Amino acid sequence: MSESASATSGRPERAAGSGSAGAKRGFFARIVLFVRQVIAEIRKVVRPTRNELLTYFVVVLVFVAVIMAFVGVLDLSFGRLVLWVFG
């Protein structure tokens, strides 16, 4: 039973067959296929709502402010330590 599960969890059959068919396509046909696939993936993208975007923006700003404060405190501490040691 585990053999059939591992065999089916591998590549889909059409993906294995499309590799040889893709090599037979011309240069421009491959470019067109790529552009079509990109457009299909872009259509799957879910855009955030205004409220979600505002929430993400605030979270990023708070995170950056916290990291800036942490690095600032470390810089001040190491600066004073260096002045105390070599001062």
Give the pLDDT confidence score for residue 25 in this predicted structure: 85
Please write the tens of the pLDDT for every residue from 10-64: 555 555 555 555 458 899 999 999 999 999 999 999 999 999 999 999 999 999 9
Annotate 47-74 with b (16+ C-beta within 10 A) or e (fewer). eeeeeeeeeeeeeeeeeeeeeeeeeeee
Judge if pTM exceeds 0.85.
Answer: no
**Both ends of the chain: CA-CA distance in Å?**
74
